[in-house]
Structure 1
Amino acid sequence: MIRNYFKIAWRNITKHKAFSLINILSLSIGLSAALIIGMMVYHDFSFDKFHSKGNQIYRAVSDLEMNDDKFGNPGTPIPLGQTMAADYPEVEMKAHLLLYSTDKVISTSTQKVSTINDRAIFVEPSYFELFKYKWLAGNPNTALDKPNKTVLVQSRAAYFFPNLTPNEIIGQVLDYGEMQTSVSGIVADFEQNTDIIFNEFISYDTVLQTKMKGTATQDFGSINSSSQLFVRLRSDADIASVNERLRALAISNWDEDSIEFGLKSYYRLQPLSDIHFNTKYGIYDNSRSQADKSVLTALGLVALFLLSLGVVNFVNLNTANATKRAKEIGVRKTLGSSRSQLIKQFLGETFILTLLATVVSIGVTFWLLNVFSDFIVGEVDLSLLSEPLVAIGVIVLILIVALAAGFYPSLVLSSFKPNRVLKGDIKTHSGGSSIRKGLTVFQFAVAHVFIIATLLVGKQIHYVMNRDMGFAKENRLFVNAPFGEKDFSKKETFQTLVKRIPGVEAVSLGSQPPASISGHINFMEMTHNNQGYKTEIRMLYGDTDYLEMYNIPLIAGRQLRNDTIMEFVLNEKAVSTLGFQNPEDILNKQVMYEDTLVSVVGVVKDFNQRTLKDAIMPLAFTGDLARSGWSHFGMLHIKTSKNIDLPATISQIENAYLNVFPNNTFEINFIDQTIANFYSEDEQLAKLLNWATGLAILISCLGLLGLVIHTTERRTKEIGIRKVLGASLLQINTLLCKEFLILVAIAFVIAAPIAYYGINNWLQDFSYKTSISFWVFLVSGCAMILSALLVISAKTLRAANANPVNSLRSE
């Protein structure tokens, strides 16, 4: 019986090739989107699921508030761990760590040099009790019990000591520049997906020998993102109660300065499973962007809509095509087939079509993975289909799609009465034209939303990429000096060498570019007219050529006298925040900064310091105030001529860099590219919307084509009669197109407010945003109607051109 079902199903599929092809293509596109999104979700939710008692491990984090601003910090004060271990009975274990980054690490025996060193930590021995590693060499009880000891993961050890076994590596020395450590242990790398990516574990007390010794301060008022705490709670711990007590502990340790400036800090515990997704506190891998549940949800909705469009096509075409199979159903019912048997038969046909669509979708998935290679992490590929959970998910998806697509058409087809359909009375059994119209409206409403969203997102990205940020960014480059370089004369030598290169117009030593994602934030206050003013201030450091090189204009006062004098040049925002309406009025006044009175000697015009999602904040430009200790001048900023051989110029800059800083990695950055990177996620969103829009239009037009084919076939004789009676080609085409174009117009009316609401919410993330123009909606509506008209006319014109003798011959 089952074999017979599949045989009949295959015959019907091959008989109606056009409808079958449309169904397979529509479903395969939706299934491909579902497969890709599903694999991305599976990959992201697989992180850190393998740790012993992982559901009891938490990272302590800080929530900070400054006036109306709220932000998170993964760091907590060092005393917090000691307090929790002593006063919180829920805490089974705690491990404090300090993130450590250095310019280079050298193996003293093999002379292997590493210049990528952002995954080292100073850590307490309890870390290896909290996170279980497999030890390949060394004693876990004594590996980090004294200063100047290091435990390496196997891959890191193999890099430094490629020809030695783990036991032979024990005792080898690593030189970090400001300290030396001996290798005391080797542990295996984690094989599963994890955000715990550290590869060098240095005994905690060693930090006192480094520049980070100030970070190890025993002060509740100090929160540094490099100082982090992990704890493991008892299985019966009440996490809500612990978080409430941590909040009270933070409040009890607020100091007077924080209260005066309106800075509030609160502590809470972040589950280990939340680290991978919570962008508020960040992850440890700086080489990739962090997963975001809201983005995954948006991707899931895109996949759901595309899959729904394919299902809608199937339902529409099979219910529309019901009249062609009415006599088959009547005969089969007359010969004894029950309704349940017919339903199984039609569901079997749907299942076969879904299987064929799945096979096609594998190829489409492979193609889409390549298209979105910069959007999808490298670990997401077709090999994930071999994972048991993913394979089960694919099978369940196929069954759900087959059931969703085939259930309603099977009910419609199996409901025909044999005594009526065999007499030719099938006009009332067309499968519900109103439902088909509603589903068609749904399809085109989704397509309209995608088109409008694509146009508006693209418009906003073009706006932020081309808006004047208040400083010059073309032909500006910058080079980082080696991290931690204390010999300032080397930076000056590098500056002199670069200045001599043909094609270099100007150079300047300073900190970050005018716009960057990082920066130094501090506090400033002053009193005038018997009123006190306080504000947070963003610090920008540069020499006397910095402002001129970036074309940042002075609107009052003068430039800094020299590169190290303690004077401030403020921006307009800082001036107004400190209570002055006229920039000239603040000149030669003094502000309090870090318990020191500093003179304001100039005011510059406001410029954007971050992305256009952020408002301009108060800013102070000054010289290298800490040159005697830790210099703020860590970058050389370069202005080049417009018409130069840029690769050759960069090559000369690199030669100058390596001449001054040998054995270091040269890296040059372009200001305009740095700014473009601010919006990489938005550009990825635009790219995703472009493809989603194209696929949605394709699926919708495929479905529309199928309905047009059905309509023109059903009305062939009507078309012939109208032609005989004198109807023109245009009149017949208008008659056939009108019904479908009305549905597309209704879809636009429904989609426009939905798209407006969604894009308006998205634009709220930007302090500077483009307008939601009327023409975008007009273009969307016209484009969709034009696409539909082309699809409809391709078939209707052919039907209208047909010889009426052929269609009326049987009458």
Structure 2
Amino acid sequence: MLKNYFKIAIRNLHRNKVFGIISILGLTVGITGATLLYLYVDNELGYDSLHEQSEQIYRIVEIDDSQDQRTRYYGQTAPVLGSTLEESFPEIKKMVRVYQPVGHVDMEWKGEAISERNWLMTDPDFFEVFDFEIVEGDKNSPLSEPNTVVISEKKAQQLFGNQNPIGEVLTFSNLGDNTVTAVIKNVPDNSHLQFDLLFSRRNSNTDMEEYLTDWNNYGAYTYLLLEESVNMTSLESKLDSFIQNQQETNENARNFYLQPITDIYFNSQNIEFGIEQAHGNIFYIYVFSAIGVFLLLIAGINYMNLATALSVQRGKEIGIRKAAGAEKRQLIGQFLLESIVIALLACLGSYFLIELLLPSFNQLTGKSFSITTDSFAYIAMVLLGIGLLLGISSGSYPAFYLALIKPIRVLKSNTEMKGTSLTLRKALVITQFSLSIILIIGTLAAYKQIDYIRTADIGFEEDQMLVVDINSGNTRARFDAIKQEMAKLPGVQDVAVSSRVPGEWKNITQIFARSGETGMADSVQTFFMSFDEDMLQLYNIELVSGRNFTGNKLTDSLTVLLNETAVNALNLDEPLGKTLRLSGVGEPVRVVGVVKDFNYQSLHQQVAPLLIGYWANPVRSIDYFSVKLAANVDVPSTLQGLKEIHGQFDPASAMEYHFLEQQIEQMYQTDVRAGRLFAIGGGVTIFIACLGLFGLALFSTQRRVKEIGIRKTLGATTPQILMLLTTDFMKLVVIAFLMAIPVSWILVNNWLENFAYRTDLGIGIFVLAGLGVFIISLLTVSSQSIKASVTNPVKSLRSE
């Protein structure tokens, strides 16, 4: 029987080629988009789930409530905390710490210095907690010995090509000789721990022992692997008692809590000094999931609409089969099988389309999906699951609808069932276009916000700005000489130094400040940067009152500039000349100037209070050269000149640099990608919706061909016929637009809340979206309506 059903399904597809193509094409596009979005969402939600025991792994987050202003959370802890907890609690199966004492390591390789930032140092038990796959070398304890290193496949290929790297020695200027003991698969992009080099902890010596046992030391990222049977409520209660006991015996002990490793990616925005390189936005996950569901809904609605509309053409078939004794369940089974066949054909097309689109999708999302031997089965199962779900769900109503047709009625007349089916088709069209319009409004709002970010006055100049890292004490000590040499290069306009730069992408030092007349309870938490005397002019930061630094180390070392927000936060009516007390600084500092607020962080955050100290200050040393390049500079030649100067003063390190404009764009990469996905999702939904509208318009004109012929014979003009055929459809689009406005308004405003500085939503994007969809829909329907209106009425009246 199934074989017979299958034959009938293929025969009906062949008989109704146009409608079959429209159904399969719409489903193919919808399934493709939904599958790609599913891969993205699954990857995001699967952050740090690659470890077999991920549900038992927790990170220790330290709580600092020592100040009255606000509680702060740190991803780093004292190393002794982890070992103390492991000894104190049998619920802890394993403890492992990860360290990154400095920002980079310099490797001597084939006569060149290579700067490596993607590295970590860890305890010997690392691979007993985390399941990063070892593909070569010691798979049991590759880091049990000091001066050993595990490298990624990417790094092994880069350094050794196709040679076996196991046993090879890598030499680092600040870590000595390290033997390669293992090679791991490249760390997946959805792991918060990212590294190409993983070093064993240094040799046991007096300094290391002191570092591991002193509560005053920090810098460890501590992870606990708990026993499976642990009762978290009971453990947290024990931890509270442990904290109280520690604080009674050790004044440096602080509160902490255990954060599930699977929560780090989405729930660490308020944690400072975390090891993670990226944070997720759960709002985008909801949005992309909704877009995927929208695509499937719209594609399924298309099929339901066309299947019910075609019921007239199959009415006699159904009537004859019922009269011949076919049962309702048999008819339902036949029609469900037909929809499943169409869905599976669409899935087959989707597979090839996904393979074609994956490179572009990876570029768009920053992921690295691929169809390999390992992933083929997974993607095939996803497609099959979506196909069966879509085939059954979208085919259910047409199946039950067609199975309920009365045989006596359809054998007497070609008239289709009115009422329910017609009302449902209208409702489905409205639903389709409402979803499409919501996505298009979201797309326009996203692009408007991104354009606002790119064109907003952020208070400083970012164009042609090259930022060069200071990676050694020798460079810091001789920075002035380096500045002078850099400034001599033909393509360089000016050079300055600072601890951080405007538009900073790293952690900025935070301190507490209070005016000399107030108590500690009135201290204000502020950010702190150190500038030299050339930074304000170089970045075109406006000095609104007072003076800049003079360049005199003796007189400027205890002076600061405030931004306008800091002046207000400290309640300084006349800030110039006032003295401030800073946390951790013994001597007071004097305010000598006020700068206009500038967005030294992302526009996602409000401008916070900022203190700017001279480069020779007691809080923070310098970390960057800012090099202003000329407009028409020969960039490669200038970079080569800068590298040569860097090599003269710091031959052991490679020069690291960034173009500030590109780095600032990285801050909004997630938002830009989201905007592009909105645009593509909106475009695809409109395409699928208009594809269905085209099919319904085609069906409608075919059903009314004789009516059109009679009207033309009686004198109806082409515009009148066109109006007759398009009015009903366009009414549905208008209703869809009216329904989409409140939903899209709520969703867009929720998204804009992610930004401290945001564009005015305005009514323009709603009008533009509605007008655009209306015109596209009108053109879609008119393509068939015009053809019907200009057909010779004699030919129309002769048609069967």
Q: Structure 1 residues 305 and 388, CA, compared in 2 at 3 Å: closer, same or farther?
A: same
The verdict on how the C-alpha distance between 1:601 and 1:84 changes in structure 2, with shifts beyond 3 A counting, is same
Within 5 Å, which residues of 2 pair with 1:409-428? 409-424=398-413, 426-428=415-417
Structure 2: distance between partners of 1:504 and 1:61? 44
In 2, the alpha carbon distance for the partners of 1:150 and 1:402 equals 55
Give, as a single letter, the amino acid of the residue that structure 2 aligns with 1:76. Answer: T
Residues 134 and 707 from structure 1, CA distance in 2 versus in 1: closer, same or farther, beyond 3 angstroms?
A: closer
* 1:151-300 aligned within 5 A: 151-153=149-151, 168-169=167-168, 175-180=171-176, 183=179, 186-189=181-184, 193=188, 196-197=193-194, 199-204=197-202, 218-219=214-215, 224=218, 226-246=219-239, 266-275=255-264, 278-280=267-269, 289=278, 293-300=282-289
> What is the SS of the residue equivalent to 2:363?
coil
Query: Is the alpha carbon distance of 1:622 and 1:642 closer, same or farther for their aligned partners in structure 2, counting shifts above 3 Å?
Result: same
The alpha carbon displacement at 1:527 in A equals 3.9
Contact 2:318–2:407 (CA under 8 A) maintained in structure 1? yes
Displacement of 1:131 = 4.7
Check the 8 A contact 2:509/2:620 in 1, yes or no. no
Which runs of 5 or more structure 2 residues have no equivalent in the other structure?
Answer: none
Shift of 1:112: 7.8
Deviation at 1:250, TM superposition (A): 5.4
* Secondary structure class of the residue paired with 1:622: strand
User: Which residue is 2:485 aligned to?
Assistant: 497
CA distance in 1, matches of 2:213, 2:37: 45
Which letter maps to 2:597?
A: D
Secondary structure at the counterpart of residue 75 of structure 1? coil
- Deviation at 1:763? 0.9
Displacement of 1:70 in angstroms is 6.8
Q: Is the 8 A contact 1:553 1:605 kept in 2?
A: yes
Partners in 2 of 1:400 and 1:135 — Cα distance?
Answer: 38
Q: Does the alignment pair 1:506 with 2:504?
A: no
Q: Is the 8 A contact 2:512 2:583 kept in 1?
A: yes
- Cα deviation for residue 691 of structure 1 reads 0.4
Q: CA shift at 1:538, angstroms?
A: 1.0
Q: CA deviation at 1:91?
A: 1.9
C-alpha deviation, 1:532, in angstroms: 6.0
Equivalent position SS for 1:322: coil
Q: Deviations over 1:138-197 (max 9, x none)?
A: 89789657xx5334347567877789977755xx5x5443453554x7235258856555
Aligned letter for 2:503?
A
Partners of 1:382 and 1:182 in 2: how far apart?
36
Equivalent residues of 2:114, 2:654 under 8 A apart: no
Query: Unaligned stretches of 5+ in structure 1?
Result: none
- C-alpha displacement at 1:244, in angstroms? 4.4
The question of whether the paired residues in 1 share the 8 Å contact of 2:351 and 2:383 is answered with no
- Give the 3 Å change call, closer, same or farther, for CA 247–367 of structure 1 in structure 2: farther
Counterpart residue type for residue 793 of structure 1: S
Query: Structure 1 residue 761: deviation in Å?
Result: 0.9
The code of the aligned residue for 1:24 comes to I
Q: Which among 609, 612, 620 is matched to residue 603 of structure 2?
A: 612
Counterparts of 1:142 and 1:324, CA distance in 2: 71
Structure 1 distance, partners of 2:108, 2:627, is 34
Aligned match of 2:385: 396
- State how far apart, in whole Å, the 1-side matches of 2:579 and 2:778 are: 70
Q: How far apart are 1:703 and its partner, in Å?
A: 0.8
Aligned residue for 2:523, secondary structure, equals strand
Relative to structure 1, the CA distance from residue 153 to residue 612 in structure 2 (aligned partners, 3 Å threshold; closer, same or farther) is closer
Aligned-partner Cα distance in 2 for 1:47–1:331: 57
- TM normalised by structure 1 equals 0.88
Distance change >3 Å, CA 294–CA 625, structure 1 → 2: same
> Could you say which residue in structure 1 is the equivalent of 2:505?
517
Change (3 A) 1:503 1:86: closer
Aligned mates of 1:701, 1:338 — CA distance in 2:
36
Shift of 1:750: 0.9
**Is 2:500–2:624's contact at 8 Å kept on the other side of the alignment?**
yes
Amino acid at match of 2:198: E
Distance in 1, Cα, partners of 2:769 & 2:135: 61
2:463 aligned to 459, 462, 474, which one?
474
| Cα distance in 2 between the residues matched to 1:141 and 1:697 | 56
The answer (yes or no) to whether the contact 1:319–1:430 under 8 Å persists in 2 is no
Q: Are 2:788 and 1:788 equivalent residues in the alignment?
A: no
Q: Give the CA deviation at 1:617.
A: 0.9
User: How many Å separate the matches in 2 of 1:158 and 1:446?
Assistant: 47
Structure-2 residue corresponding to 1:692: 681
Match of 1:230, SS state, is: strand
CA 1:738–1:406 in structure 2 vs 1: closer, same or farther (change >3 Å)? same
Partner amino acid for 1:201?
A: F
CA separation of 1:687 and 1:192: change in aligned 2, threshold 3 A: closer
Instruction: Report Cα offsets for 1:748-777 as digits up to 9, x if no partner.
Output: 111111111011111111111111111111
Contact (CA 8 Å) 1:505, 1:641: kept in 2 or not?
Answer: yes
Specify the alignment match of 1:656 in structure 2: 645
Whether the 8 Å contact between 1:43 and 1:380 is mirrored in structure 2 is: no
Aligned residue among 564, 570, 577 for 2:569 = 577
Partner of 2:767, secondary structure, is: helix
Distance in 2 between residues matched to 1:432 and 1:485, nearest whole Å: 78
Query: Does the Cα contact within 8 Å between 2:497 and 2:535 map onto a contact in 1?
Result: yes
Change (3 A) 1:291 1:591: closer
Deviation at 1:378, TM superposition (A): 4.8
2:569 counterpart letter in structure 1:
T
Rounded Cα–Cα distance in structure 2 between residues aligned with 1:203 and 1:631: 28
Identity in percent: 28
Question: Do structure 1's residue 5 and structure 2's residue 1 form an aligned pair?
Answer: no
- SS of 2:312's partner is helix
Conserved 8 A contact 1:752-1:777: yes
SS in 2 for 1:237: coil
3-state DSSP class of the match of 2:732?
A: helix
Q: 2:739 aligns with which of 736, 750, 754?
A: 750
2:580 pairs with 1:602: no
How far the C-alpha of 1:69 sits from its partner, in A, is 6.3
Shift of 1:268: 2.0
Aligned residue in 2 for 1:97: 98
Cα separation, 2, equivalents of 1:39 and 1:282 = 30
Q: Could you tell me how far apart the structure 2 residues matched to 1:382 and 1:648 are?
A: 41
Contact 2:581/2:589, CA 8 A, preserved across alignment = yes
**TM-score, normalised with respect to structure 2:** 0.89
Inter-CA distance 710–576: structure 2 relative to 1 (3 Å threshold): same
- The answer to whether 1:623 aligns with 2:619 is no
Are the aligned partners of 2:98 and 2:120 in contact in 1 as well (CA < 8 Å)?
no
Which deviates more, 380-389 or 403-412?
A: 380-389
Inter-CA distance 497–55: structure 2 relative to 1 (3 Å threshold) = same
The aligned counterpart of 2:147 is 149
Give me the whole-angstrom Cα distance separating, in 2, the residues matched to 1:135 and 1:351: 42
Equivalent residue of 1:596, what SS?
Answer: coil
Could you tell me how far apart the structure 2 residues matched to 1:330 and 1:547 are? 85
Query: What secondary structure sits across from 2:314 in the alignment?
Result: helix
Instruction: Indicate the SS of the match to 1:486.
Output: helix
Read off the aligned partner of 2:577 and give its amino acid letter.
Answer: L
Contact 1:510 1:546 in 2 (8 A): yes
- The change in CA–CA distance for 1:71 and 1:427 in structure 2 (over 3 A counts) is farther
Report deviation, 1:445: 0.3
* Alpha-carbon contact 1:311-1:405 (below 8 Å) kept: yes
Displacement of 1:433 in angstroms is 0.5
Matches within 5 A, 1:676-755: 676-755=665-744
Q: Aligned equivalents of 2:348 and 2:137: distance in 1? A: 48
CA contact (8 A) 2:143 2:150 kept: no
